[in-house]
Structures are given as C-alpha cells and as structure tokens.
Amino acid sequence: MQVSLEEGVPVFSFFWGDPAGYREPAHDAGAVVMHTVSSAQEARRTVEAGTDVVVAQGWEAGGHVWGEVATFALVPRVVGAVSPTPVVAAGGIADGRGLAAALALGAAGVWLGTRFIASEETPFAPMYKDRIAAAAETDTVYSSLFDLGWPDAPHRTLRNSTIDRWEAAGRPSSGSRPGEGETVATGRHGAPIRRYEEALPDAETSGDLEALALYAGQSCGLISSVEPAGEIVRRLVAEAVQTLDECARLVESN
C-alpha cells in the first residue's frame, strides 16, 4: 500500500475484511476508497467509517465470494442503506442487459470479473479463458474446496475433475480429500502447485491446468468468446443503451 500511495494510485479497493487503518492513509493521499460488502448492514458500517464507494458483491460472483445474498436482492438493499453514497453492483453481470438492470436497481455502476478474465489482455492460461467461454450458467460450483493458501474462504469456480473426484468421495473434509498433497501443475519458476491450492492457471502454469481452481461466476453462461477488453466495454455500453431505450419505449406505449 505504501508503494501505491507513493505512486499516486487514485483508487484503493478493499475486499475480504475491515479496511480500518487503510482508509485514512488513502484519503490523506487524496485517493478514493472502495470496499466490497455483502449486506446492507455491512455497507452502512463501512460508509459510516468513511468509505467513498461501496461495491455490493452478489453470491453468483466468480472468485472469492464474501456473502450469500444474490445480486438482485442485495443491490437495492445496499443502495437503500447508504444512498447517496455510490454503489457498484458486482456478480452475475457480463453484458449490457446486466448493466441496465443494475442501474435500475439503483447502482451507480457495475463491476465485472469473469467477463474480463475471458479477455485477450488478461495473463491467464488460454485453456482457462476458453473454459469460461464454453461454460453454461449451471457449470460453476460454490465451495471452500480450493483452500490451500487461503483457508475458510468460499469461492466460485468452474466444475472440474478435482471437484468431481471430491464429490464422488463423499465430500471429505480438508486433509483427507482424494489426491491431497499431490502436485498437479507448476507455476512461475517451476514452483509446484498442489491439488486444492488457491492458485489459478496463468500463462506460465504448466501441467494439469484443468484440475486447478478455475474461478468463474454464473455470468460465464453469458460469455461465448474471448475478446479484447475494449470491445467488451464498447458492447456493454451499446447494449445497455439499447436495453434502456427498449424499456423507455415500453413505458411510452402504455
């Protein structure tokens, strides 16, 4: 954080816990502080403590998932709790219809994770991106399975062979799962990646990439190709405008 402050980073976004102690140095440097929450109560608390922008992350999100309330029920509650503080909706949004819906729920903007993982610019393994593009909305699993390196932290990943084997074994607890401790891949500089490790496959990972934590949200069903990030943003905006126009016409015709 010190290096980021020295470099003049304009936005600090905190997740997974209380950013107390980090907010003040960020504000002193003139930066904006964002914090990801999963309930109205948490949102209220963080805004009272000085957070500038709240990110409301719904349960359908990819990666580590802080709460268990879905985006549609969460966002209006958080907006109601902290208005006029801006709220950004995260989880399950991958196209302009999702952006339009989030705005209708009172969000000031949207935050997309899975959609951008499957973009050309991210440094992840092509196989991982292709799996996201091929997946349906039913192909993700919410679990705490990939816990080596980050225990007790629920996350959403694509269903894969590691999950299938664990389920077939009766979902044993950490320490006695099938293949526990075995190396399934190697990362940067040949560092071993064990089964159930929280690491995700980047472009330098080799081995059984499919068996690793393939973080993705339910929005994967809305993604059908790996594209440049700029294209994704341009289409997102055009689709949202079109969707909002269609909604306005619906109102006018009544």
Ligand X SMILES: Cc1cc2nc3c(=O)[nH]c(=O)nc-3n(C[C@H](O)[C@H](O)[C@H](O)COP(=O)(O)O)c2cc1C
Check if the beta carbon of residue 70 is closer than 8 Å to that of residue 60: yes
- Give 148 or 178: the residue with its C-beta nearer to ligand X: 148
Is residue 215 at the binding interface for ligand X, with CB under 6 A as the rule?
yes
Query: How far is Cα 160 from Cα 137, in angstroms, rounded to an integer?
Result: 14
Residue whose beta carbon is closest to ligand X: 113
* Token pair for 166: 């664990």
Query: How far is Cα 205 from Cα 212, in angstroms, rounded to an integer?
Result: 10
- Give 76 or 91: the residue with its C-beta nearer to ligand X: 91
Is residue 101 at the binding interface for ligand X, with CB under 6 A as the rule?
no
Stretches 171-179, 211-219, 224-232, 238-246: which one binds ligand X (CB under 6 A)?
A: 211-219
Is residue 61 at the binding interface for ligand X, with CB under 6 A as the rule?
yes
Binds ligand X by CB under 6 A, chosen from 5, 9, 15, 22: 15
Is residue 90 at the binding interface for ligand X, with CB under 6 A as the rule?
yes
Is residue 53 at the binding interface for ligand X, with CB under 6 A as the rule?
no
Instruction: Please work out the total of residues on this chain that contact ligand X, with binding judged by CB under 6 A.
Output: 23
- Give 171 or 235: the residue with its C-beta nearer to ligand X: 235
Is residue 67 at the binding interface for ligand X, with CB under 6 A as the rule?
no
Binds ligand X by CB under 6 A, chosen from 35, 59, 62, 185: 62
- What DSSP character marks residue 213? -
Query: How far is Cα 108 from Cα 79, in angstroms, rounded to an integer?
Result: 9
CA distances from 108 to 55, 84, 208, 214 (A): 10, 10, 41, 29
- Give 108 or 178: the residue with its C-beta nearer to ligand X: 108
- Give 40 or 214: the residue with its C-beta nearer to ligand X: 214
* Token pair for 134: 């091929």
Is residue 221 at the binding interface for ligand X, with CB under 6 A as the rule?
no
Is residue 19 at the binding interface for ligand X, with CB under 6 A as the rule?
no
Alpha carbon 43 to its chain centroid, in Å, reads 18
Provide long-range contacts, Cβ within 8 A and 24+ apart, for 101-109.
Answer: 101/72, 102/71, 102/75, 103/240, 103/244, 104/247, 105/72, 105/75, 105/76, 105/79, 106/75, 106/76, 106/79, 106/80, 107/56, 107/75, 107/79, 108/53
- Give 13 or 186: the residue with its C-beta nearer to ligand X: 13
Stretches 1-9, 75-83, 85-93, 140-148: which one binds ligand X (CB under 6 A)?
A: 85-93
Query: How far is Cα 195 from Cα 238, in angstroms, rounded to an integer?
Result: 42
Stretches 42-50, 106-114, 168-176, 178-186: which one binds ligand X (CB under 6 A)?
A: 106-114
CA distances from 190 to 123, 179, 206 (A): 17, 20, 9
Q: Note the residues at the interface with ligand X (CB under 6 A).
A: 13, 15, 36, 57, 60-63, 90-93, 111-115, 117, 200, 215-217, 219
